[in-house]
Amino acid sequence: MIEPQSLSIPSDGETLSADLYLPDTPGPHPTVVMAGGWCYVKELAQPTYARAFAEAGLAAVVFDYRCFGDSTGEPRQHIDPAKQVADYRNTITFAEGLDAVDAERIGVWGISYSGGHVLQVGAEDSRVKALCGVVPVIDGYQNMRLAHGTIGFRRFQQALLDMRREQYRTGEVGYIEHQPAREGDLSTWPFPRSKETFRMLKDREAPNYLGRATWESSELLLGYHVGPYLRRLVGKPVKLVIAEGDDHTHWDLAVDAFGQIPGEAKELTIVPKSDHLTLYTDRQAQQGVASDIASFFSRSL
């Protein structure tokens, strides 16, 4: 098994903890910069993909965002998508200076929330030569409205307002659970089965995972939309991987986004008979998708 090297990456005054996965062939290598989704740490799901890339001759840099895992940053568990995009771009800059990295052949990969981030990073940063988003978030407002349902969404919005007022009054940061223990409990992603899945992942591979984020993270999610970046990806190799039954990051929104990317340098993979959690729990499906993406990056970088 390929074991990573530890890296410390400066990013806007913070220090990102990262792992570098290298092939066993001489470098410099085409390289994929990787980060996770909502509340993820670098040990959650991503090593499977990074090792598949390394086995295909690609280097991979997997990092914890600021405020998460082994990275610095306060408040802890705060998800600001603009700052997470900045962490991607700063990691690219750091990776360019590594002897093992071919700076002219850099790609980005993301999953769930970061599956949307990489669409923005690829549109904004000319150093990115190819990108892949797995079960991506496209439009945070519509995603939350669909996930919670109209009545639940009104309750969710009211809870965010209440927490904003409370933090203003007390100065103390408030938190919302990643997923609920029971259906109807307050959470950002209202899927009890997901909580069980992430508890298993924490025990199996990602002890640094904590299942909560600041309330403001959810408010920022409601303002998140990568649509304006899609047309700017014209001519750039883009791969989207979508789960056929995904109701967490809704697959119809992702299919629509794929159609808005101009040109022929794009690929869409729809994983049949699956849902959002399949690519975390089903090792066979995960390995198959990882190999497919590794092939895409090998062709595109």
Q: What domain range includes position 294?
A: 5-139+226-300
Give the β-pairing of 59-63 and 14-21: antiparallel
- Token pair belonging to 42: 């670098």
Question: For residue 279, what pLDDT is reported?
Answer: 87
Residue 192 resides in a domain: no
Closest to 64 measured CA to CA, from 19, 98, 13, 30: 19
Whether residue 17 contacts residue 58, with contact meaning beta carbons closer than 8 Å, is answered with no
Q: What mean pLDDT value characterizes the chain?
A: 97
User: What is the pLDDT, as a whole number, of residue 8?
Assistant: 99
> Is 79 part of a structural domain of the chain?
yes
Q: Answer whether residue 292 shows pLDDT above 90.
A: yes
| pLDDT higher than threshold 90 for residue 283 | no
At 224-269, the pLDDT tens digits run 999 999 999 999 999 999 999 899 999 999 999 999 999 999 999 9
Residue 43 lies in a domain: yes
Q: Among 56-70, 231-245, 250-264, 275-289, whose mean pLDDT is lowest?
A: 275-289
Confidence of residue 22 (pLDDT cuts 50, 70, 90): very high
Could you give the CA distance from residue 9 to residue 260 in angstroms, rounded to a whole number? 34
Q: Give the sign of the dihedral formed by CA 59, CA 282, CA 247, CA 202.
A: negative
**Percent of the chain's residues with pLDDT above 70:** 100
DSSP 244: T
> Are the C-beta atoms of 141 and 222 separated by less than 8 Å?
yes
Residue 27 included in any domain: yes
The reply to whether 102 falls in a domain is: yes
Q: How many Å separate Cα 226 from the centre of its chain?
A: 13
> DSSP assignment, residue 227?
G
Nearest to 2 by CA among 44, 73, 59: 59
Q: What average pLDDT does range 87-107 have in this prediction? A: 99
Residue 185 clears pLDDT 90, i.e. is over it = yes
Which CATH number goes with the domain that contains 76?
A: 3.40.50.1820
CA distance 210 to 190: 16
pLDDT of 282 strictly over 90: no
The answer to whether position 218 is within a domain reads no
The mean pLDDT value for 146-151 works out to 96
Bridge partner residues of 269 (DSSP): 241
Q: By C-alpha distance, which of 241, 252, 142, 143 is closest to 189?
A: 143
Residue 1 has pLDDT above 90, yes or no: no
Work out the pLDDT band at 7, boundaries 50, 70, 90.
Answer: very high
The percent of residues above 90 in pLDDT, for the chain, comes to 94
Task: Tell me how long the chain is.
Answer: 301
How far is the CA of 151 from the CAs of 23, 144, 196, 250, in angstroms? 50, 12, 24, 18
pTM for the model: 0.97
Q: Which residue is associated with the tokens 């198959």?
A: 288
In a domain, 199, yes or no: no
In a domain, 72, yes or no: yes
3-state helix, strand, coil in the chain (%, to 5): 45, 20, 35
pLDDT value, residue 280: 87
| Domains contained in the chain, number | 1
